[in-house]
Amino acid sequence: MHSAFYKNRSAYLYATLDANYFYSNDGQTLAPGNLSRSFSEVGDRQTHELWPGLAVGLKVAL
């Protein structure tokens, strides 16, 4: 018996580079310490953090 739909199975490896940003108005931090850049004014509890990111994955299309 033959299927009415043709199924092409493929796998894709991918990698992405990105920039992550986090804002806090109560002094919290989220970024990893050695790769991040934090921006805030003296006496102000607002912080802006920026750090690089990398994602690697495998996508399977059925």
> Cα torsion at 28, 23, 37, 21 (round to 10°)?
130
Q: What is the pLDDT of residue 53?
A: 92
- pLDDT averaged over consecutive 10-residue blocks of the chain (62 residues)? 60 91 82 78 81 90 76
Q: What is the pLDDT of residue 43?
A: 74
* Cα distances (Å, whole numbers) of residue 61 to 10, 17, 49: 5, 23, 36
Paired strand residues for 45: none
pTM for this predicted structure: 0.59
CA R_g for the chain:
21
Q: What is the pLDDT of residue 7?
A: 57
Q: What is the pLDDT of residue 56?
A: 92
Sheet arrangement for strand 37-39? 10-24, 47-61, 37-39
